A and B are shown apart, each in its own frame.
Chain A
Amino acid sequence: MPKIDEYAPAAGASAIEELKIIASRLQGKSILNVNSTAVGGGVAEILNRMLPMMTELGIRPRWELIKGGEDFYAVTKKFHNAIHGTRQELTPADFQLYRDTLKMNMDTMDLGADLALIHDPQPAGLIDRKPAGAKWVWRCHIDMSNRQDDVWNFLKGYVSRYDAAVISAPAFSQELPVKQFQVPPSIDPLADKNKELSEEEVSAIMRRLEIPLDKPLITQVSRFDRLKDPLGVIAAFKLIQPYVTARLLLVGGSADDDPEGAEVLAEARAAAEGNPDILVLCLAPTSNVEINAIQRASAIILQKSLKEGFGLTVSEALWKGKPVIAGAVGGIPLQITHKYSGILTRTIEGTAYWMKRLLHEPAYAKRLGENGREHVRENFLLTRHLRDYLLIALYLESGRRDFIHL
């Protein structure tokens, strides 16, 4: 894992200095994180990188995993989908299974810590065993704006007893009797997906993937999912083909284990059939450096989502200094200020218009990319994410004052 000072070139030396000053007020404090998985998924990815940084800063982080059988995970998967807005049928037995599994976890898990960050619905019920004097924060990574009432009301009974809740975007907030803070997710500038690559490295990867660079590349990186609108992307590109010289690249996972994904992939391939300037590429889930190189080799990056959680792939693209055209949904408008740090669109025609415009006005496109990178540097890097968690810890430790002088 990179040392904290290695983040200075990306985040700025002063951001590192700030982290050290804040952490100096939390020396020796223990911070417990509880979630449901150690690998895979955004939360585990962030914790794997963030916890070593906490240790280096003199804080004592711990990480516990909630345990349960397949039936428990089936129920919490339903919770997740219901909170995210997909209608689920839950029975009284499902809720009881949740309570029983949480009770079993409370009996075996070490919950002792000065501060606990409890991530998402799965471990929310642990609040029943909150140690006296500890501060507990419920950290929800899910977009709750279309949540299902019965599941939310059940969870709200737990969440209302935390010291604070943390959400990724204001639109995700719910009525709660506790303070809610906005802490957006972040990207790690030193991870394979985002680290700096030389032109030679980028060229070599593009040669290996057999992606020609003789025309400007317009790229969308996302899984083959209808909500990412790959067919809309192809339709938009076809609208501009008579007027521009460019190539479209859709990159996603293989979708072998996802029947709907396989269907969408087949539809995308069919739509691209016979058009030599539309490439559809499947990469293994571990192809992080390859995705990084593709983004760096692109002239424009698209994220034409129809629905999105936070849509952190936008920040990944902006971090490469690329002009990004993205759907104005979920957390994307927090990452892009229209016409300043990227382009927000709502239609196929609008996406086509802006693709053409940015190809024809490279100086403006470059400026968008530069602004976007600076916006990510200030707001969406891992160091800012860690800083916000530490500020919450300080806020709770210092008696919840609105103004704290260090």
Chain B
Amino acid sequence: MSATAKELFRFRNRLTLAEVTGRKAFNINELLEGIKQADDEVIYYHTHRFIKQFHHLVPEGANDFAYWVTNTVQADRLGEELTAIDIVRYNSLADIRAAFTATIERNLAANPGPARTVAPGREFHFMRAVRFSLPTSCAASDYASFLECLREVNSSSLYLHVFEARLRPPYGVDDFSHWFRQEFGDEEVGREISRLDPYSYTLEGLRKRIIRIIEKRLGETSNA
């Protein structure tokens, strides 16, 4: 593991500004209509931002839609189905929107009847994200310096490289796996990182897990 990468891994940060669209939903029908009309930045806000803002909490309620349906509308079954939508499986925000739309439509078709309307003050607010990508001072050229950076960067950076990376080419692949495969041909580390389910960990838990994978790999090669 003494090899040096041709291309440095430059850690970046993702920051977002929250734009209030003014659109609200008081019941599930209105939520569905809002999701259908939402542009990519709205879908991004309610799926990806949620993970980051609540990353320190136990990884439950993986998106704003599921959280509102479960905790405010108290439609448990639909809430569970929306929670189970695995956004890292999708390669675009349009696909993620379609998954939410299809799930809600299926649920509404199976449960016709008047929708429960929540009281004023408990409505869902559709928001948009304005995204900023920032450089950090961390750059890695080998396994050791990657580990050092990984320990140092903040959760925004981890979030950007693990979650959001999957929405841009090469689609469906996180930046870390991609770099280890490309630069070192390390399929094993690449596979181990890419099969981590980000929803089973908080971001800090995910950080520790990736550190362990790389430390283990370093240990194996130094013992070989």
Interface residues of A (CB under 8 A from B): 12, 14-15, 17-18, 21-22, 145, 167, 170-171, 173-176, 179-183, 329, 337-338, 340-341, 371, 374-375, 378-379, 387-388, 391-392, 394-395, 401-406
Docked CA distance A243–B44 (Å):
48
B182 within 8 A of A: no
CB-contacts of B1-37 with A (<8 A)? 13, 15, 17-20, 22
Q: A341-B57, A379-B53 are in contact. Are A179 and B19 (CB under 8 A)?
A: yes
Given A182-B20, A337-B57, A371-B56: 12 more A-B contacts, CB < 8 Å? A14-B156, A17-B137, A18-B13, A22-B132, A22-B134, A167-B20, A181-B18, A378-B155, A379-B53, A387-B15, A392-B17, A402-B130
Supply 14 A–B pairs (Cβ within 8 Å), ascending by A.
Answer: A17-B137, A170-B20, A170-B125, A173-B20, A173-B125, A182-B127, A183-B18, A371-B57, A375-B56, A379-B53, A387-B15, A402-B131, A405-B132, A406-B134
Across-interface contacts of B156 in A (CB, < 8 A): 14, 18
Interface residues of B (CB under 8 A from A): 13, 15, 17-20, 22, 41, 53-58, 71, 121, 123, 125, 127-137, 152-157
Contact of A15 among B41, B127, B154 (CB under 8 A): B154
Docked CA distance A48–B134 (Å):
28
Q: A379-B53, A394-B132 are in contact. Are A171 and B121 (CB under 8 A)?
A: yes
A181 x B20 contact (CB < 8 A): yes
Interface residue SS majority, chain A: mixed
Across-interface contacts of B134 in A (CB, < 8 A): 18, 21-22, 406
Docked CA distance A174–B24 (Å):
11
Across-interface contacts of B41 in A (CB, < 8 A): 402
Across-interface contacts of B20 in A (CB, < 8 A): 167, 170, 173, 180-182
Across-interface contacts of A401 in B (CB, < 8 A): 130
Contact of A338 among B19, B71, B131 (CB under 8 A): B71
Docked CA distance A285–B157 (Å):
41
B72: nearest residue on chain A (CB-CB)? A333
Q: A14-B154, A17-B136 are in contact. Are A391 and B54 (CB under 8 A)?
A: no
